[in-house]
Amino acid sequence: MTTTFDPTGGKPGQVRFFLPGPVWVRDAVRQAMAHEAIGHRGKAFADLYARIPPRLQKVFRTEGFVFTTTSAATGLWEAALLNLVPERVLAVVSGAFSERWAACARDLGIAVDVLEAPWGTPVDPEEVRRALGKGRYEAVTVVHSETSTGTLNDLAAIARAVREASDAFVLADVVTSIAGSPVECDAWNLDFVLSGSQKALALPPGLGVAFASARFRERAKKSSRAHYLRLAEAEAFAEKNQTPYTPSTPHLFALDVQLDHILQETIEGRWARHDALRRRVESWAAERGHTYAPIEGARSWTVSCLKPRPGVSAEALVAKVKERGFTIGGGYGKWKASTFRIGHMGDVDLASLEALLAALDDSAEESA
Protein backbone atom coordinates (compact mmCIF):
# COMPACT_ATOMS: atom_id res chain seq x y z
CA MET A 1 0.00 0.00 0.00
CA THR A 2 1.44 3.39 -0.91
CA THR A 3 0.74 6.27 1.39
CA THR A 4 0.17 9.80 0.21
CA PHE A 5 0.64 11.29 3.65
CA ASP A 6 3.35 13.94 3.71
CA PRO A 7 4.86 13.94 7.23
CA THR A 8 6.83 17.11 6.54
CA GLY A 9 3.67 19.13 5.92
CA GLY A 10 4.82 20.59 2.59
CA LYS A 11 8.59 20.12 2.64
CA PRO A 12 9.15 16.60 1.30
CA GLY A 13 12.80 15.78 0.80
CA GLN A 14 13.89 19.03 2.45
CA VAL A 15 14.63 18.04 6.05
CA ARG A 16 18.31 18.60 6.84
CA PHE A 17 18.28 18.34 10.65
CA PHE A 18 18.75 14.78 11.96
CA LEU A 19 19.82 15.16 15.57
CA PRO A 20 18.44 12.49 17.90
CA GLY A 21 16.63 15.39 19.53
CA PRO A 22 15.79 18.17 19.45
CA VAL A 23 14.33 17.45 16.04
CA TRP A 24 13.16 19.25 12.96
CA VAL A 25 9.75 20.94 13.44
CA ARG A 26 7.12 21.48 10.72
CA ASP A 27 6.24 25.04 9.72
CA ALA A 28 2.62 24.71 10.89
CA VAL A 29 3.76 23.70 14.37
CA ARG A 30 6.27 26.53 14.64
CA GLN A 31 3.67 29.02 13.42
CA ALA A 32 1.14 27.76 15.99
CA MET A 33 3.50 28.97 18.72
CA ALA A 34 3.14 32.55 17.50
CA HIS A 35 -0.50 32.65 18.64
CA GLU A 36 -1.37 35.82 20.52
CA ALA A 37 -1.26 35.65 24.32
CA ILE A 38 -4.23 34.27 26.23
CA GLY A 39 -4.81 33.98 29.97
CA HIS A 40 -4.52 30.48 31.39
CA ARG A 41 -7.59 30.88 33.61
CA GLY A 42 -9.91 31.95 30.80
CA LYS A 43 -12.24 30.14 28.42
CA ALA A 44 -9.91 30.19 25.43
CA PHE A 45 -7.29 28.28 27.42
CA ALA A 46 -9.83 25.82 28.84
CA ASP A 47 -11.09 25.13 25.31
CA LEU A 48 -7.53 24.52 24.14
CA TYR A 49 -6.59 22.33 27.12
CA ALA A 50 -9.77 20.27 26.84
CA ARG A 51 -8.83 19.25 23.31
CA ILE A 52 -5.47 17.75 24.34
CA PRO A 53 -6.18 14.64 26.52
CA PRO A 54 -8.52 12.71 24.18
CA ARG A 55 -5.90 12.84 21.42
CA LEU A 56 -2.89 12.41 23.70
CA GLN A 57 -4.55 9.25 25.04
CA LYS A 58 -4.49 7.85 21.51
CA VAL A 59 -0.77 8.58 21.25
CA PHE A 60 -0.11 6.86 24.60
CA ARG A 61 -2.58 4.09 23.73
CA THR A 62 -4.54 4.46 26.94
CA GLU A 63 -7.93 5.36 28.26
CA GLY A 64 -6.28 6.57 31.47
CA PHE A 65 -4.96 9.88 32.73
CA VAL A 66 -2.58 11.82 30.50
CA PHE A 67 -1.25 15.28 31.16
CA THR A 68 1.27 17.87 30.06
CA THR A 69 3.87 19.82 32.00
CA THR A 70 6.00 22.83 31.24
CA SER A 71 9.26 20.99 31.77
CA ALA A 72 11.96 18.98 30.09
CA ALA A 73 11.63 15.21 30.21
CA THR A 74 14.06 15.23 33.15
CA GLY A 75 11.38 17.03 35.18
CA LEU A 76 9.09 14.10 34.58
CA TRP A 77 11.75 11.58 35.71
CA GLU A 78 11.72 13.54 38.95
CA ALA A 79 7.91 13.77 38.98
CA ALA A 80 7.57 9.99 38.68
CA LEU A 81 9.84 9.50 41.68
CA LEU A 82 8.63 12.42 43.82
CA ASN A 83 4.98 11.47 43.49
CA LEU A 84 5.67 7.87 44.41
CA VAL A 85 8.50 8.32 46.94
CA PRO A 86 9.65 4.72 46.77
CA GLU A 87 12.13 3.56 49.41
CA ARG A 88 14.11 1.50 46.92
CA VAL A 89 14.03 1.33 43.13
CA LEU A 90 15.53 -1.05 40.63
CA ALA A 91 17.06 1.03 37.85
CA VAL A 92 17.32 -0.84 34.58
CA VAL A 93 20.38 0.74 32.98
CA SER A 94 21.57 0.27 29.41
CA GLY A 95 23.03 3.65 28.47
CA ALA A 96 23.55 7.25 29.53
CA PHE A 97 19.92 8.31 29.99
CA SER A 98 18.92 5.34 32.14
CA GLU A 99 22.07 6.02 34.16
CA ARG A 100 20.98 9.63 34.64
CA TRP A 101 17.51 8.58 35.79
CA ALA A 102 19.18 6.37 38.41
CA ALA A 103 21.31 9.37 39.47
CA CYS A 104 18.13 11.46 39.71
CA ALA A 105 16.65 8.90 42.12
CA ARG A 106 19.81 8.93 44.25
CA ASP A 107 19.74 12.73 44.37
CA LEU A 108 16.21 12.53 45.75
CA GLY A 109 17.44 10.29 48.58
CA ILE A 110 16.01 7.07 47.18
CA ALA A 111 17.98 3.82 47.52
CA VAL A 112 18.85 2.58 44.04
CA ASP A 113 20.02 -0.81 42.85
CA VAL A 114 21.20 -0.91 39.26
CA LEU A 115 20.63 -3.76 36.86
CA GLU A 116 23.00 -3.02 34.04
CA ALA A 117 23.42 -4.30 30.53
CA PRO A 118 26.50 -3.39 28.48
CA TRP A 119 25.95 -0.42 26.14
CA GLY A 120 24.37 -1.62 22.92
CA THR A 121 22.70 -4.60 24.59
CA PRO A 122 19.11 -4.54 25.85
CA VAL A 123 18.35 -5.56 29.40
CA ASP A 124 17.17 -9.16 29.62
CA PRO A 125 13.63 -9.27 31.12
CA GLU A 126 14.56 -12.53 32.87
CA GLU A 127 17.36 -10.68 34.66
CA VAL A 128 14.80 -8.13 35.80
CA ARG A 129 12.63 -10.94 37.11
CA ARG A 130 15.58 -12.46 38.99
CA ALA A 131 16.62 -9.11 40.48
CA LEU A 132 13.08 -8.54 41.75
CA GLY A 133 13.20 -11.94 43.42
CA LYS A 134 16.26 -10.91 45.43
CA GLY A 135 15.08 -7.61 46.93
CA ARG A 136 12.01 -5.56 47.71
CA TYR A 137 11.56 -2.76 45.19
CA GLU A 138 8.68 -0.35 44.98
CA ALA A 139 9.46 0.77 41.45
CA VAL A 140 11.46 -0.14 38.38
CA THR A 141 12.79 2.57 36.05
CA VAL A 142 13.27 1.69 32.38
CA VAL A 143 14.30 3.74 29.36
CA HIS A 144 12.60 2.22 26.32
CA SER A 145 14.72 3.68 23.51
CA GLU A 146 18.21 4.56 24.80
CA THR A 147 19.07 7.60 22.71
CA SER A 148 22.74 7.44 23.71
CA THR A 149 23.26 4.03 22.12
CA GLY A 150 20.26 3.58 19.80
CA THR A 151 19.25 0.47 21.75
CA LEU A 152 15.60 -0.52 22.17
CA ASN A 153 14.66 -2.37 25.33
CA ASP A 154 11.77 -4.83 25.25
CA LEU A 155 9.56 -2.69 27.45
CA ALA A 156 6.53 -4.98 27.11
CA ALA A 157 8.50 -8.01 28.30
CA ILE A 158 10.21 -6.07 31.10
CA ALA A 159 6.83 -4.76 32.32
CA ARG A 160 5.42 -8.30 32.21
CA ALA A 161 8.36 -9.62 34.22
CA VAL A 162 7.88 -6.87 36.82
CA ARG A 163 4.16 -7.62 37.12
CA GLU A 164 4.70 -11.34 37.47
CA ALA A 165 7.54 -11.06 39.96
CA SER A 166 6.42 -8.19 42.19
CA ASP A 167 3.98 -5.38 42.82
CA ALA A 168 6.55 -2.72 41.86
CA PHE A 169 5.43 0.24 39.77
CA VAL A 170 6.75 0.33 36.21
CA LEU A 171 8.13 3.78 35.38
CA ALA A 172 9.01 4.13 31.71
CA ASP A 173 10.85 6.78 29.70
CA VAL A 174 9.53 6.70 26.13
CA VAL A 175 11.17 9.98 25.11
CA THR A 176 12.43 8.67 21.76
CA SER A 177 9.96 5.85 21.19
CA ILE A 178 6.49 7.35 21.67
CA ALA A 179 4.71 7.77 18.34
CA GLY A 180 7.82 6.34 16.62
CA SER A 181 7.57 2.66 17.55
CA PRO A 182 4.94 0.70 19.48
CA VAL A 183 4.28 1.91 23.03
CA GLU A 184 1.13 0.54 24.67
CA CYS A 185 0.45 2.05 28.09
CA ASP A 186 -2.71 0.03 28.82
CA ALA A 187 -1.90 -3.24 27.07
CA TRP A 188 1.57 -3.36 28.65
CA ASN A 189 0.25 -2.40 32.06
CA LEU A 190 2.64 0.51 32.61
CA ASP A 191 2.32 2.87 35.58
CA PHE A 192 4.06 6.11 34.70
CA VAL A 193 5.15 6.85 31.15
CA LEU A 194 6.88 10.06 30.15
CA SER A 195 8.24 11.93 27.20
CA GLY A 196 9.44 15.35 26.14
CA SER A 197 8.20 17.38 23.21
CA GLN A 198 11.46 17.73 21.27
CA LYS A 199 11.97 14.14 20.22
CA ALA A 200 9.59 11.71 18.54
CA LEU A 201 6.60 14.07 18.91
CA ALA A 202 8.45 16.65 16.78
CA LEU A 203 7.64 19.79 18.75
CA PRO A 204 10.02 22.46 20.00
CA PRO A 205 11.66 21.63 23.36
CA GLY A 206 10.02 22.63 26.62
CA LEU A 207 6.92 20.52 27.08
CA GLY A 208 6.59 17.27 29.00
CA VAL A 209 3.83 14.74 28.33
CA ALA A 210 2.98 11.79 30.53
CA PHE A 211 0.56 9.03 31.46
CA ALA A 212 -0.15 7.85 35.01
CA SER A 213 -2.10 4.67 35.82
CA ALA A 214 -4.99 4.63 38.30
CA ARG A 215 -2.84 2.57 40.68
CA PHE A 216 -0.03 5.12 40.47
CA ARG A 217 -2.40 8.03 41.03
CA GLU A 218 -3.98 6.38 44.07
CA ARG A 219 -0.59 5.86 45.64
CA ALA A 220 0.60 9.36 44.68
CA LYS A 221 -2.37 10.91 46.51
CA LYS A 222 -0.92 9.51 49.73
CA SER A 223 2.80 9.59 49.12
CA SER A 224 3.64 12.63 46.97
CA ARG A 225 6.42 14.96 48.04
CA ALA A 226 6.30 16.90 44.77
CA HIS A 227 5.13 20.47 44.60
CA TYR A 228 5.51 21.86 41.06
CA LEU A 229 4.75 18.49 39.49
CA ARG A 230 2.34 17.13 42.10
CA LEU A 231 0.13 14.71 40.22
CA ALA A 232 -2.98 15.17 42.38
CA GLU A 233 -2.86 18.92 41.64
CA ALA A 234 -2.46 18.29 37.92
CA GLU A 235 -5.47 15.98 38.06
CA ALA A 236 -7.60 18.42 40.05
CA PHE A 237 -6.82 21.27 37.67
CA ALA A 238 -7.31 19.05 34.62
CA GLU A 239 -10.93 18.64 35.76
CA LYS A 240 -11.29 22.37 35.01
CA ASN A 241 -9.15 22.10 31.87
CA GLN A 242 -6.36 24.04 33.52
CA THR A 243 -2.86 23.48 34.87
CA PRO A 244 -1.87 24.28 38.50
CA TYR A 245 0.74 26.83 37.40
CA THR A 246 1.23 29.17 34.42
CA PRO A 247 1.84 26.82 31.48
CA SER A 248 3.76 27.48 28.30
CA THR A 249 0.66 28.24 26.27
CA PRO A 250 2.62 28.51 23.00
CA HIS A 251 3.70 24.88 23.38
CA LEU A 252 0.10 23.83 23.93
CA PHE A 253 -1.00 25.62 20.75
CA ALA A 254 1.78 23.73 18.97
CA LEU A 255 0.75 20.41 20.53
CA ASP A 256 -2.86 21.07 19.53
CA VAL A 257 -1.80 21.33 15.88
CA GLN A 258 0.68 18.47 16.06
CA LEU A 259 -1.77 16.00 17.62
CA ASP A 260 -4.09 16.44 14.65
CA HIS A 261 -1.19 15.82 12.29
CA ILE A 262 -0.09 12.70 14.19
CA LEU A 263 -3.58 11.23 14.25
CA GLN A 264 -4.13 12.09 10.61
CA GLU A 265 -1.12 9.96 9.76
CA THR A 266 -2.42 7.46 12.35
CA ILE A 267 -0.26 5.99 15.10
CA GLU A 268 0.19 2.77 13.15
CA GLY A 269 1.12 4.79 10.05
CA ARG A 270 3.72 6.63 12.07
CA TRP A 271 5.18 3.37 13.37
CA ALA A 272 5.28 2.01 9.81
CA ARG A 273 7.09 5.12 8.53
CA HIS A 274 9.71 4.91 11.26
CA ASP A 275 10.09 1.20 10.61
CA ALA A 276 10.77 1.98 6.93
CA LEU A 277 13.27 4.72 7.87
CA ARG A 278 15.30 2.53 10.20
CA ARG A 279 15.26 -0.36 7.71
CA ARG A 280 16.57 1.98 5.04
CA VAL A 281 19.45 3.01 7.32
CA GLU A 282 20.12 -0.68 8.03
CA SER A 283 20.37 -1.62 4.36
CA TRP A 284 22.45 1.48 3.55
CA ALA A 285 24.87 0.77 6.42
CA ALA A 286 25.26 -2.87 5.39
CA GLU A 287 26.07 -1.86 1.79
CA ARG A 288 28.65 0.73 2.91
CA GLY A 289 30.34 -1.35 5.61
CA HIS A 290 29.18 0.83 8.53
CA THR A 291 28.18 -1.33 11.49
CA TYR A 292 25.58 -0.90 14.22
CA ALA A 293 26.59 -0.19 17.77
CA PRO A 294 23.51 -1.93 19.24
CA ILE A 295 23.04 -5.63 18.56
CA GLU A 296 20.61 -6.82 15.91
CA GLY A 297 17.00 -7.14 17.02
CA ALA A 298 17.38 -4.43 19.68
CA ARG A 299 17.70 -1.29 17.63
CA SER A 300 15.69 1.84 18.14
CA TRP A 301 13.30 2.75 15.31
CA THR A 302 14.03 6.45 15.74
CA VAL A 303 17.77 6.75 16.29
CA SER A 304 20.41 4.73 14.47
CA CYS A 305 23.76 4.58 16.24
CA LEU A 306 26.54 3.45 13.90
CA LYS A 307 30.27 2.82 13.84
CA PRO A 308 31.73 4.04 10.56
CA ARG A 309 33.54 1.55 8.35
CA PRO A 310 37.26 1.09 9.10
CA GLY A 311 39.30 4.08 8.02
CA VAL A 312 36.46 6.59 8.45
CA SER A 313 36.42 8.84 11.53
CA ALA A 314 32.99 9.30 13.13
CA GLU A 315 33.80 12.81 14.33
CA ALA A 316 35.12 13.88 10.91
CA LEU A 317 32.03 12.41 9.25
CA VAL A 318 29.70 14.48 11.46
CA ALA A 319 31.73 17.61 10.64
CA LYS A 320 31.93 16.92 6.89
CA VAL A 321 28.22 16.23 6.49
CA LYS A 322 27.55 19.46 8.37
CA GLU A 323 29.50 21.33 5.68
CA ARG A 324 26.98 19.88 3.22
CA GLY A 325 24.13 21.35 5.23
CA PHE A 326 23.09 18.23 7.18
CA THR A 327 23.12 17.98 10.96
CA ILE A 328 23.47 14.55 12.57
CA GLY A 329 24.38 13.51 16.09
CA GLY A 330 27.86 12.58 17.18
CA GLY A 331 28.48 9.70 19.54
CA TYR A 332 27.37 10.08 23.15
CA GLY A 333 29.53 9.88 26.27
CA LYS A 334 32.07 7.08 26.09
CA TRP A 335 31.00 6.39 22.49
CA LYS A 336 31.64 9.98 21.42
CA ALA A 337 34.63 9.30 19.19
CA SER A 338 33.61 5.89 17.87
CA THR A 339 30.00 6.33 16.72
CA PHE A 340 27.64 8.72 14.94
CA ARG A 341 23.89 8.89 15.39
CA ILE A 342 21.17 9.60 12.85
CA GLY A 343 17.94 10.82 14.42
CA HIS A 344 15.13 9.85 12.06
CA MET A 345 12.24 10.59 14.36
CA GLY A 346 9.28 12.91 14.27
CA ASP A 347 8.23 14.17 10.86
CA VAL A 348 11.18 13.04 8.73
CA ASP A 349 10.31 11.54 5.34
CA LEU A 350 12.15 8.91 3.35
CA ALA A 351 13.21 11.34 0.60
CA SER A 352 14.97 13.55 3.16
CA LEU A 353 16.69 10.52 4.65
CA GLU A 354 17.88 9.51 1.17
CA ALA A 355 19.40 12.97 0.69
CA LEU A 356 21.22 12.62 4.02
CA LEU A 357 22.54 9.15 3.16
CA ALA A 358 23.87 10.46 -0.17
CA ALA A 359 25.59 13.34 1.67
CA LEU A 360 27.05 10.85 4.15
CA ASP A 361 28.47 8.81 1.26
CA ASP A 362 30.21 11.87 -0.15
CA SER A 363 31.39 12.91 3.31
CA ALA A 364 32.75 9.45 4.17
CA GLU A 365 35.18 9.74 1.27
CA GLU A 366 36.68 12.83 2.96
CA SER A 367 36.55 11.56 6.56
CA ALA A 368 39.51 9.21 6.73
Ligand X SMILES: Cc1ncc(COP(=O)(O)O)c(C=O)c1O
Half-sphere exposure (Cβ direction) of 74: Cα atoms closer than 13 Å: 10
The answer to the question of residue 73 lying near ligand X (CB under 6 A) is yes
Least CB distance from residue 173 to ligand X, whole Å? 5
Least CB distance from residue 276 to ligand X, whole Å? 22
The residue (of 62 and 176) whose beta carbon lies closer to ligand X is 176
Looking at 10-18, 25-33, 39-47, 169-177, which segment touches ligand X (CB under 6 A)?
Answer: 169-177
The residue (of 104 and 231) whose beta carbon lies closer to ligand X is 104
Closest residue by Cα to residue 44 from 264, 256, 236 = 256
Q: What Cα–Cα distance (Å) separates residue 289 from each residue in 18, 23, 279, 300, 343? A: 21, 27, 15, 20, 19
Helix (H, G, I), strand (E, B) or coil at 143: strand
Identify the residue among 24, 49, 97, 216 touching ligand X (CB under 6 A). Answer: 97
The partner residues of 324 in beta bridges, in order of sequence, read: none
Looking at 72-80, 82-90, 149-157, 351-359, which segment touches ligand X (CB under 6 A)?
Answer: 72-80
Per the document, the length of the chain is 368
The answer to the question of residue 298 lying near ligand X (CB under 6 A) is no
Least CB distance from residue 46 to ligand X, whole Å? 27
The residue (of 72 and 232) whose beta carbon lies closer to ligand X is 72
The answer to the question of residue 173 lying near ligand X (CB under 6 A) is yes
Strands 65-69 and 340-343: unpaired
Phi-psi region of 187 (alpha: psi -120 to 50; beta: other; left: phi over 0): alpha
Least CB distance from residue 206 to ligand X, whole Å? 8
Distance of alpha carbon 105 from alpha carbon 314, whole angstroms: 33
The answer to the question of residue 196 lying near ligand X (CB under 6 A) is yes
Least CB distance from residue 333 to ligand X, whole Å? 12
The answer to the question of residue 96 lying near ligand X (CB under 6 A) is no
Binding flags for ligand X, 205-244, as an x/- string (CB under 6 A) = ----------------------------------------
Residues sharing a CB contact under 8 Å with residue 124, sequence separation 6 or more, in sequence order = 117
The answer to the question of residue 338 lying near ligand X (CB under 6 A) is no
The answer to the question of residue 122 lying near ligand X (CB under 6 A) is no
Binding flags for ligand X, 139-158, as an x/- string (CB under 6 A) = ----x---x-----------
Q: Are 176 and 205 in contact (CB under 8 A)?
A: no
Restricted to residues 20-59, the positions that interact with ligand X (CB under 6 A) are 21
Written as one string, the DSSP assignment of 220-285 is HHHH---STT-HHHHHHHHHTT--SS---HHHHHHHHHHHHHHHHH-HHHHHHHHHHHHHHHHHHH
Q: Which residues of the shown chain bind ligand X in the complex (CB under 6 A)?
A: 21, 72-74, 97, 143, 147, 173, 175-176, 196
